[in-house]
Structure 1
């Protein structure tokens, strides 16, 4: 970069200094080898002038705002890249510079005379102002003066940036930015990354509406600046776009092994809401700045529950839900209402819906499997019938592999026989009431035997309920008509009892204890035909 040139106004002596900060000791004209377009700002700092370039460099001219004893002020000249010179002037109090280009050739001799002792570049430049302007410039400097040139070819340069725009807003659809600003300035809208997303102009009434290249509907922060015709750029004003965009649904969801925490990823700084299958909120929290979250639940979820997780942003937009299934570490309840069919082929019962049923024998061998239906019922066919009173164990297994406690059920025993191997015994404890013999070939089931020790000779049962009193079998084939035993020890030959009360004429005394009423022997000379005692009493 070229050197800075400093011209002492009182002597016309010029000195050069390396580009950087300088300190003025006399009232001077300072030429800076920089263009107006390269300047970001020119600010007064006490007695000093601070020039800030757009590159970030600064040049401080100390004592620039000190006025000499003769009332002369320091002046500033800029040299553009093409060699043209701009003479700066300012008013008091300081509010910025106005630059005038040193333009057309005019009365060079007069300018040179007025600028005796002044460097050629300044004489040339002053000559371009015209004689009157040149003399005034050298005599009085820029302090207290107005703009540059009052007609002809004088050009006024503006280094004052517009005020920042105001009343900013973004349309609901995110496509337009509205606001107010300095009339006829250019509006530039940039996103948070510094990309220009819209430009426009402030109208003569100070209002503007700038269309954006794509909608801003996610709460984006936009910067809006105004640039005047001289290229001065205002300080930016920020505006937030409306947020009508819901966050993306959360991802990478997981439930901890103990069922107490749900973790995942989502839009930073959104609110996480976790609900159970019934829509009840069971946990809330925040997504961190790194996009991760871990939310504590109100109580453990460890039975395979399905949970819904949503994200809500600051504008109240709610994401679509993402689902996550809790781990299932809870075994089903043991099956109930077990029964084995009479033929031993099927085991039925009740249990947790949609679990698997396993039936095992006493040795632990699986003999049947199946499934509990949606209503909690099952009916499982066994590999082979179980009809011998076997004990079976039945368990349920859920989708997570949790196995219930076993429930036992005993099959029917179809090999069990009647208590007697022969015909059924009579139900009563007494003798048969009928006159006929039992139809079976077995003895009566009652505990009372016939009172006599000998079997009845007849084929018919006794009609009376008492046993025969004698110890001998009846000779006749008919049952005794009376209810008393024969008084004699011998069987009657006839079937009729003796008619008399006397002793028989035979040699055998009657068996009764009463003697014959008469003292005589029987009238007949014949003894009784039978050899047995009379059957009557």
Structure 2
């Protein structure tokens, strides 16, 4: 940190005290000494790049990129600044001009040269640079020069030690790609360094640092095919007297490398159906999530409904999706505008019940009077399903209480006991949707029944008993029906 002190001159003696300072990053902030004391900075003119005004504050820019901010400098009527490097002393003179601040430095033999002087009979205070030439011109001459508007701080034979005006450093033909157009993080690796507004007649050398400003090497104004990395550029301006000044540093980052994409996944998602990891499901409400992407990158989710031919942006939250096949991916962009795309996550939303098909019996003999009433002595047969949805699974079920309760059963039925049976098939697709076939009823009767059946009563219908007696069945009628 720069040594900053307040100096009071009393009876030719210098009394120094440390001034309160604060530092944030490379910015040091302090205030002027009070009561006409001198503010002394532990630097030399060669370390100063330029000075600027920020409101009422004076900002001293050093060549190493740091700054010294002296608060309320321009509110003081006669601020006195001194620089010291070892045994060397300078008076730092700051004046405002139409084009900005003009800064001069005058060598001093002692800080006593800056002690405030008041002319007899008045409260006229001599500016700091005026006291420096008091020994040569005399106090009255200095006051006369000030009163008459004279402002030169240098004698004719004084050496020029004032750094030249640096001007403004910039980049030409530079495109700041990426999220922000002003952060100088870009894919652009070809551009030009430029300097405008520097002192007329000065020479300019451009320099670059790749190690955060520790070392600097000369470089060309035209930059081309820069490799990925962080670069710091500056211009060093030299005047005819050999004084140099350095511009503020311009940092850029060249980044042409695609970012790490990460892994896309689904959260709040239930994979229903036969398999719990095939992403064929009834679930149509879930969230897209990305993990492991490059820090600081931006993420856009995209969806395709045509097998990846076209993609549109979508939200992370997916809700009320209609039945169909979906492909999801995330496009990741870094600060320089490089992009990377994750692998594709395919899911199928299926909330439609599958085609159930038709249940039937094979290896079955329908014995008895009718061959299609499914009342039979056959108690060994197979259950068969045809016409169901491809890829579906089938479970056969049986009920022995008229359909009140159902239990799973095998396709092969054997050694059924006498009784009434109801069979059906439950069909499930890969998403877990189910359909049930119509019911097939079967009655099994014993083949060892030797009891004669109840015969019943036979009678004639549509029969007319003609003749003397109407119930002797002696008649001319020869067309009638038998009924049991």
- TM-score of the aligned structures, taking structure 2 as reference length: 0.51
The aligned runs of 1:359-378 (5 Å cut-off) are 359-363=396-400, 364-368=406-410
| Deviation, structure 1 residue 323 | 0.9
Equivalent residues, number:
344
In structure 1, the partner of 2:331 is: 311
Which SS does the other structure have where 2:258 is aligned?
Answer: coil
Q: 1:175 to 1:413 in 2, by over 3 A?
A: same
* Equivalent residue in structure 2 for 1:214, among 228, 237, 240: 228
Q: Which moved more, 1:336-345 or 1:358-367?
A: 336-345
Are 1:384 and 2:414 counterparts? yes
Are 1:263 and 2:288 counterparts? yes
* Equivalent residue in structure 2 for 1:349, among 351, 365, 386: 386
* Equivalent residue in structure 2 for 1:83, among 87, 109, 112: 87
In structure 2, the partner of 1:169 is: 174
| Deviation, structure 1 residue 178 | 2.9
Q: 1:6 to 1:197 in 2, by over 3 A?
A: closer
Structure 2 CA distance for aligned equivalents of residues 92 and 55 of structure 1: 19
Would you tell me which structure has more strand in proportion to its own residues?
Answer: 2
Greater relative contact order, per chain length (Cα 8 Å cut-off, separation 6+):
2
Are 1:251 and 2:288 counterparts? no
| Deviation, structure 1 residue 42 | 3.6
Which consecutive residues of structure 1, in runs of 5 or more, have no partner in the other structure?
Answer: 67-73, 104-111, 121-131, 217-221, 287-292, 369-380, 422-537
Deviation per residue, 1:18-41 (Å, 9 max, x gap): 54425788xxx9562431377686
- 1:90–1:144 CA contact under 8 A, matched in 2: no
In structure 2, the partner of 1:397 is: 428
Cα RMSD of the aligned pairs, angstroms, is: 5.6
In structure 1, the partner of 2:22 is: none
- 1:164–1:181 CA contact under 8 A, matched in 2: yes
| Deviation, structure 1 residue 166 | 2.5
The aligned runs of 1:121-136 (5 Å cut-off) are 135=136
Are 1:186 and 2:207 counterparts? yes
Q: 1:159 to 1:357 in 2, by over 3 A?
A: same
Structure 2 CA distance for aligned equivalents of residues 170 and 197 of structure 1: 27
In structure 2, the partner of 1:99 is: 105
In structure 1, the partner of 2:40 is: 32
| Deviation, structure 1 residue 85 | 1.4
| Deviation, structure 1 residue 233 | 4.0
- 1:91–1:146 CA contact under 8 A, matched in 2: no
- 2:169–2:193 CA contact under 8 A, matched in 1: no
Which consecutive residues of structure 2, in runs of 5 or more, have no partner in the other structure?
Answer: 20-30, 116-132, 178-185, 196-203, 239-243, 271-282, 366-380, 401-405, 453-484
The aligned runs of 1:344-493 (5 Å cut-off) are 344-345=381-382, 347-363=384-400, 364-368=406-410, 382=412, 384=414, 391-409=422-440
Structure 2 CA distance for aligned equivalents of residues 321 and 346 of structure 1: 45
